[in-house]
Amino acid sequence: MRTMDVILCIVGAALAAFTVSMVVIYCVTGGIPDTLCTCVFAALGGECGVMGWIKTTKERMRERQYELEDKQNENIATEVEQP
């Protein structure tokens, strides 16, 4: 497994555990700490957003590298074809 996959599993497990604990708190007390819920969802959502940004940046860099390699191969092929 890659690092981002592990982080996504941890985020999912943390979100599931948090949701279950908030349901239990609601059943016992009749209310939940709204600020805590907002902060947890913001933090986990922010983490996933940053990981998405990192992933798209890596993909763009990889595509750019392939484009440069293709141009080099094209230039080499045209040089070989010219007598």
Domain total in the chain: 1
What is the distance between the alpha carbons of residues 78 and 11, in angstroms, rounded to a whole number? Answer: 51
What pLDDT, on the 0 to 100 scale, is given for residue 78?
74
What pLDDT, on the 0 to 100 scale, is given for residue 81?
66
Class of residue 4 by CB neighbours under 10 A (exposed 0-12, middle 13-18, buried 19+)? middle
Look at residue 83 and tell me whether its pLDDT is greater than 70: no
Look at residue 37 and tell me whether its pLDDT is greater than 90: yes
Look at residue 16 and tell me whether its pLDDT is greater than 90: yes
Q: Which domain holds residue 42?
A: 3-81
The residue that leads in pLDDT, 62 or 13, is 13
What pLDDT, on the 0 to 100 scale, is given for residue 63?
85
The residue that leads in pLDDT, 81 or 32, is 32
